[in-house]
Structure 1
Amino acid sequence: MTTHEVLNQVPPLVGHDTSDDRALREGLEREGAGWALDEVSELGRLAGTAEAQHLGRVAERDKPILHTHDRYGHRVDEVEYTPAYHELMRTAVSHGLHGAPWGDDRPGAHVARAAKFAVWNVDAGHGCPISMTYAVVPALRSAPTLSAQLEPLLTSREYDPALRDPATKQGLVAGMSMTEKQGGSDVRANTTTATERPDGTFELVGHKWFTSAPMSDLFLTLAQTPSGLSCFMVPRVLPGGERNRMQLMRLKDKLGNRSNASSEIEYDGASGWLVGEEGRGVRTIVEMVNMTRLDCVIGSSTAMRSALVQAMHHARHRSAFGARLADQPLMRNVLADLAVESEAATTAMMRLAGANDRAVRGDEGEAALRRIALAVTKYHVCKRAPMVVGEALECLGGNGYIEDSDLPRIYREAPLLSIWEGSGNVAALDALRAMAREPQTLDAYFGEVEQAEGSDARFDDALARLKKELTSFDDIEHRARRVVEQLATVFQGSLLVRHSPAAVADAFCATRLGGDHGAAYGTLPTGLDLTAILERASAGLPVMAG
């Protein structure tokens, strides 16, 4: 017997273009990569298909499996991934989300890559080796011979997951192996040792606490030599085909990011090649950190946008108390508030992608801006993402708490990027270090944000408060989070005032800079143009039912 008819349920969010985000598209044009819009749209349409979304769910559900030994007792140290994971990797590599921009001379190549990385949002876990491959290339250039051998394969658009001699493969992916259990973010506390051999290679002995994507073809790692902490390239398979002495001890059981195998490894006499100057390992990896920090901002911005789109889609189709949720004043307040947060993050992300593109091409002013603006934005945007995703999840009520909605998966991912590449305190203190050691970074920052002066009184007041905060550096470490948050919101405000529609900029300045806002989202004041904000944010969503 039919006991009920299914009514008032929201259709699946499929068949849309995840790149149909006006803030992202406008940023792509503004930062010099408008030429990539067709490819970004192609990838966005693919991400919106039911097939791609299914691959993401399966990769997350069927976690990687560690095999330390074969049936006979020989060490094999292999991780088995689901085929869905490999299909996601193949798509990402073929669209150049990994190292491809380093082989592309066109201005805006790194901006295009940032946009594609953002719209291919079906699974965060496989993005980890993609991001690390992108990040190792500039560090590897400190060893020209190695770079000449490996960079063509790191930039290749062929995905080749087999464990073989790198020279025999069509393409490579890379990982990082930096932290140890006694040190964490304090990498100078590392105890892994590297001893030079007569042939110029080094023998590494030690235990690494976090090594993500351990099936990668090569890793950059840190180890102590008599000259101090140094950087090394450690291949998974040695020239000639013998496996390097990297033993996988266990995989981490993580809150989220489950499709990505994060492992503990031991170097038991592993072979490594020096990258950069001996004893200057931290300096060697600085450029790599810039790249992965940018990807943290991209990932957090993407999480916000993905959660917002899910919430808006739900509200446009679901009715309660006699009206669509999207038409009810309080829900409109919540959604508009989330939309403002999302646009601020996306606009800052695209500006930083542009700064990064110009910095790698030798623009010293943009490199100085990237140095400080990236640190403060990484701190702030990654802190905001879990709050945005949590509020968006609540827009679906109990349905949002169910795995089928995909929001729990986004919610589990959201805290990770605030931890990766240094937790909040590390990022905040690094921003202070940049100001103290490289005064030109603060000059570049103010040169950027002061372009918005005179456009909005609330922005001008926030900028004046920030400058007052920086007149004294007494107790600056105690105030680090406060100062960095101000730096980040003023940076976002300056961009929105200059580039976003008046409705969005007005809402941001009134709330994030002017203080007319509560502790939770959905506390926008009256008098703002919520209709314009919501129409902009919902561009590209499927047509409402009914």
Structure 2
Amino acid sequence: MAATTHTVTNQPPPLVGYDVFAADAALAEGVGRHVPPALLEEVRGELGELGRAAGSAHAQRWGALANEQPPVLRTHDRYGHRVDEVEFHPAWHRLLGHAVSAGLTDAWSRPAGHVRRTAGFLVWTQAEAGHGCPLSMTHAAVPALRADPALAAEWEPLLTSRVYEPGLRPVAEKPGALAGMAMTEKQGGSDVRATTTVAESLSSDGEYVLTGHKWFCSAPMSDAFLVLARTSGDEGELSCFLLPRVLPDGSRNSFRIQRLKDKLGNRSNASAEVEFDGTTWARRVGEEGRGVATIIEMVAATRLDCVTGSAAVMRQAVAQALHHTAYRQAFGRPLADQPLMRNVLADLALESEAATALALRLAAAYDADTEQERAFLRMAVPAAKYWVTKRCTPVAAEALECLGGNGYVEESGMPRLLRESPLNSVWEGSGNIQALDVLRALRREPAALHAFLTEIGTARGADHRLDAAIKEMLTELADLEGIEARARRLAERMALVLQGSLLVRYAPPEVADAFCASRLGTDHGASFGTLPPTLGLRAIVERARPVVDG
């Protein structure tokens, strides 16, 4: 045994054994703002239970194991039968099972369902982000399936169930089910109009067989998938289909998993390339030729989860940085008390709080479901998806740097967060797609712009920098010459003024002041840690810091 040469000192304790929900003031206050008073105690109780689970040692261990032992594709069984199954580490099933039992696949059957689910998603995916994919797909499949009342009646109770049962068997025999999605093809990418998969009708009851491929299939171990295919050959219109993995008679549907993607991050989750061989059975969802309009309901819901998922990665990265610097000493005092480090931490905390506030506001609009709020979402969702997901990577990188060399080591968990951080900016349409979608709403849906302006207008007069930023945005909107080339600038400006209006109305004065000065004013550098030193930086840091009891 080697001799002891030194005593370990000046190392922070692990951030474990805390309530992820209660330790996040911005999230807890947002829930209080958007949940009706009669439900608030119940919702806070649910989220507190979930938050303590997410901050526990066992959940953090599950997250590490699920990424260290990624899924494995088994195309055949030992006897040579084609099975196309994906095997996961038990930790994955524990994470997913806990999430399903907490209601994270269901925002549809409870009052304030979207706010409570969004808050829960933000809390629980801080333990591990990869399993958020099947949670999101399953949740988002519900509004698409409602285009066909018979299919919705059959599948919605299973998709919103709180029982997780892995494995493939007829869904009629299962207490709960998961759903995935497969739209992207090799030649098309985000341009789903380039789809070449063909659907041939078998009957007048909406039964078809599919021939083709999908280049990205999310969550291939799911019980069913929403897919797009042409109903009349290459020139036909796109229709939406529900493709089950197991047929009603118990036999396996023809769903050939060619390989799993070797991804930058999100390694606990399986993404696949799949083939349909002309015998792949599916049922049409909604009207023939209306596939994009049908599946767009699913895409809209998953885009909100992109915003929420990025907010979760940001929050966990910032929480780790704040925790580390509160304990780590340098030059005779904690790092967090060093003026320059405090500036960096406060800047990161602002980005995290703004993302959280925006995600919850979008969720509340889904819950309200009024004509005004639906119009607001039409413009706010793509703008938020564009901007919040873009900010996730620089936040994760800067937070990692706060831990110094320790942050670059896998054991810290920070590299996993950094690898995860670009995902949501790519998934469900990358930055250009979101920016162009904002323009599409501007051109086709005047009510969307009116609703957006009404929302940000409620904060007018509260901060001169916000007022100036709104004026600049309106100037951008008034000049449509070459607007497509400026679409990213416009989407960014719209997201920032929306975040600014939320913080001015609801956040503490020091948070709103710092955000408006740095994001909407002119006094901000290109990197984090360049906030005006006159702002209340200590208060911002203390508000964001997670505190472990005891």
TM-score by length of 1: 0.97
Which residue in the other structure is 2:25 paired with? 22
Which residue in the other structure is 2:123 paired with? 119
Pairing partner for 2:212 from 177, 190, 206: 206
Which residue in the other structure is 1:224 paired with? 230
Residues 188-210 of structure 1, C-alpha deviations (whole Å, 9 max, x = no match): 10100000013631000111000
Residues 65-104 of structure 1, C-alpha deviations (whole Å, 9 max, x = no match): 1010112221111111111111111100000001x22222
Unaligned runs of at least 5 residues, structure 2: none
1:291-330 → structure 2 map (5 Å cutoff): 291-330=301-340
Pairing partner for 2:165 from 152, 156, 160: 160
Give the Cα separation in 2 of the matches to 1:430 and 1:507: 30
Which residue in the other structure is 1:129 paired with? 134
Given that residues 63 and 81 in structure 1 are in contact (C-alpha distance below 8 angstroms), is that contact kept between their aligned partners in structure 2?
yes
Which residue in the other structure is 1:282 paired with? 292
1:47-58 → structure 2 map (5 Å cutoff): 47-58=54-65
Given that residues 53 and 59 in structure 2 are in contact (C-alpha distance below 8 angstroms), is that contact kept between their aligned partners in structure 1?
yes
Instruction: Kindly state the Cα deviation for residue 524 of structure 1 after the two structures are TM-superposed.
Output: 0.4
Residues 471-510 of structure 1, C-alpha deviations (whole Å, 9 max, x = no match): 1111011000111110000000000000000000000011
Instruction: Kindly state the Cα deviation for residue 2 of structure 1 after the two structures are TM-superposed.
Output: 1.4
Specify the code of the residue in structure 2 equivalent to 1:214: P
Instruction: Kindly state the Cα deviation for residue 240 of structure 1 after the two structures are TM-superposed.
Output: 1.3
For the pair 1:516 / 2:508, whether they are aligned, the reply is no
SS at match of 2:437: helix
Which residue in the other structure is 1:343 paired with? 353
- Alpha-carbon RMSD across the aligned residues, in angstroms, is 1.0
Given that residues 224 and 230 in structure 1 are in contact (C-alpha distance below 8 angstroms), is that contact kept between their aligned partners in structure 2?
yes
**Larger mean Cα displacement after TM superposition, 449-458 or 24-33:** 24-33
Give the Cα separation in 2 of the matches to 1:219 and 1:391: 37
Specify the code of the residue in structure 1 equivalent to 2:532: P
Which residue in the other structure is 2:341 paired with? 331
SS at match of 2:169: coil
For the pair 1:11 / 2:13, whether they are aligned, the reply is yes
Give the Cα separation in 1 of the matches to 2:536 and 2:204: 69
Pairing partner for 1:261 from 257, 267, 270: 270
Specify the code of the residue in structure 2 equivalent to 1:357: D
Given that residues 319 and 546 in structure 2 are in contact (C-alpha distance below 8 angstroms), is that contact kept between their aligned partners in structure 1?
no
Give the Cα separation in 2 of the matches to 1:506 and 1:207: 51
Instruction: Kindly state the Cα deviation for residue 125 of structure 1 after the two structures are TM-superposed.
Output: 1.1
Specify the code of the residue in structure 1 equivalent to 2:272: S
Which residue in the other structure is 2:253 paired with? 244
Moved over 4 A (4+): none
Give the Cα separation in 2 of the matches to 1:455 and 1:350: 21
Specify the code of the residue in structure 1 equivalent to 2:31: L
Give the Cα separation in 2 of the matches to 1:212 and 1:294: 17
Specify the code of the residue in structure 1 equivalent to 2:343: N
Give the Cα separation in 1 of the matches to 2:197 and 2:297: 22
Count of residues in Structure 1 that have an aligned counterpart in Structure 2: 537
Which residue in the other structure is 1:432 paired with? 439
Instruction: Kindly state the Cα deviation for residue 356 of structure 1 after the two structures are TM-superposed.
Output: 1.4
1:63-82 → structure 2 map (5 Å cutoff): 63-82=70-89
Instruction: Kindly state the Cα deviation for residue 287 of structure 1 after the two structures are TM-superposed.
Output: 1.4
Specify the code of the residue in structure 2 equivalent to 1:10: P
Specify the code of the residue in structure 2 equivalent to 1:340: L
Given that residues 22 and 539 in structure 1 are in contact (C-alpha distance below 8 angstroms), is that contact kept between their aligned partners in structure 2?
no
Give the Cα separation in 1 of the matches to 2:135 and 2:61: 20
**Larger mean Cα displacement after TM superposition, 26-35 or 383-392:** 26-35
**Larger mean Cα displacement after TM superposition, 31-40 or 312-321:** 31-40
Which residue in the other structure is 1:194 paired with? 199
Give the Cα separation in 1 of the matches to 2:352 and 2:437: 25
Pairing partner for 2:53 from 42, 46, 49: 46
Given that residues 293 and 375 in structure 1 are in contact (C-alpha distance below 8 angstroms), is that contact kept between their aligned partners in structure 2?
yes
Give the Cα separation in 2 of the matches to 1:336 and 1:198: 62
SS at match of 1:232: strand
Which residue in the other structure is 1:110 paired with? 114
Instruction: Kindly state the Cα deviation for residue 243 of structure 1 after the two structures are TM-superposed.
Output: 0.5
Instruction: Kindly state the Cα deviation for residue 539 of structure 1 after the two structures are TM-superposed.
Output: 4.8
Specify the code of the residue in structure 1 equivalent to 2:305: D
Instruction: Kindly state the Cα deviation for residue 541 of structure 1 after the two structures are TM-superposed.
Output: 4.3
Specify the code of the residue in structure 1 equivalent to 2:299: V
Give the Cα separation in 2 of the matches to 1:372 and 1:41: 32
Pairing partner for 2:479 from 464, 472, 475: 472
Pairing partner for 2:367 from 334, 357, 363: 357
Pairing partner for 2:423 from 416, 419, 435: 416
Given that residues 322 and 546 in structure 2 are in contact (C-alpha distance below 8 angstroms), is that contact kept between their aligned partners in structure 1?
no
Pairing partner for 1:148 from 135, 149, 153: 153
Which residue in the other structure is 2:505 paired with? 498
Report the CA distance shift for 1:217/1:110 in structure 2 as closer, same or farther (over 3 A).
same
Given that residues 313 and 541 in structure 1 are in contact (C-alpha distance below 8 angstroms), is that contact kept between their aligned partners in structure 2?
no
TM-score by length of 2: 0.96
Give the Cα separation in 2 of the matches to 1:386 and 1:541: 26
For the pair 1:178 / 2:196, whether they are aligned, the reply is no
What percentage of aligned pairs have identical amino acids? 58
Given that residues 323 and 546 in structure 2 are in contact (C-alpha distance below 8 angstroms), is that contact kept between their aligned partners in structure 1?
no
Give the Cα separation in 1 of the matches to 2:26 and 2:321: 18
Specify the code of the residue in structure 1 equivalent to 2:318: L
Give the Cα separation in 2 of the matches to 1:44 and 1:32: 17
Instruction: Kindly state the Cα deviation for residue 526 of structure 1 after the two structures are TM-superposed.
Output: 2.1
